[in-house]
Amino acid sequence: MADPVKILILNGPNLNLLGTREPDIYGHETLTDIGRRCEQRAKALGFEIAMRQSNSEGELIDWIHEAVSKWSAIIINPAAYTHTSVAIMDALKLVNCPIVEVHISNIYKRESFRHHSFVSPVATGVICGLGPAGYEFALEAVAGLLRKKEEV
């Protein structure tokens, strides 16, 4: 029996406050709500997921390091670290699996400093501006990327 496909979903700073934090930008769903939706979608796709959130850059990097040997793909919403963290970018360079960057809001319709991502150059793909559904779209994208990888 093949090992289950394991997807790591990482969330950066302040995303623990979804549902109350700037609902005009991020909506009213909590990270727990998004996690439940991801669990359902992952199960339908035959995946196992772990959804984690940290306000600490170092903790996110430690979890990325785990992915080198433990995870089939990473979905990451680095939040504010998107625009500031060379360290997260460098950690993501170490993993040899699909990486999908997700943003709930459209970062290109916001302040100009948010238009630059240190993660995008090392990500397989980017989903932004589609709200919490972006996480589910990322799971679908990962499914396609992993199928394509198997065909090679």
Reported as a single tens digit per residue, the pLDDT across 19-57 is: 998 888 888 999 999 999 999 999 999 999 999 999 999
* Closest of 31, 21, 102, 91 to residue 62, by C-alpha: 91
Helix orientation angle between 133-151 and 31-45, rounded to the nearest 10 degrees? 30
* Closest of 56, 63, 112, 64 to residue 81, by C-alpha: 56
Reported as a single tens digit per residue, the pLDDT across 83-113 is: 999 999 999 999 999 999 999 999 888 888 7
DSSP assigned state of 32: H
Active site residue 26: yes
What's the pTM?
Answer: 0.93
Give the pair of three-digit tokens for residue 118.
């240190």
Give the pair of three-digit tokens for residue 64.
């990325």
26, 65, 108, 115: the catalytic one is: 26
Domain count for the chain: 1
Q: Residue 105's domain is classified under what CATH number?
A: 3.40.50.9100
103, 108, 115, 135: the catalytic one is: 103
pLDDT reading at 1 higher than 60: no
Active site residue 28: no
Residues 6+ apart with CB under 8 A from 133: none
For the chain, counts of helices (H) and of strands (E): 5, 5
Q: Which domain holds residue 50?
A: 5-151
Pairwise CA distance, residues 28 & 8, whole Å: 23
Give the pair of three-digit tokens for residue 56.
């600490």
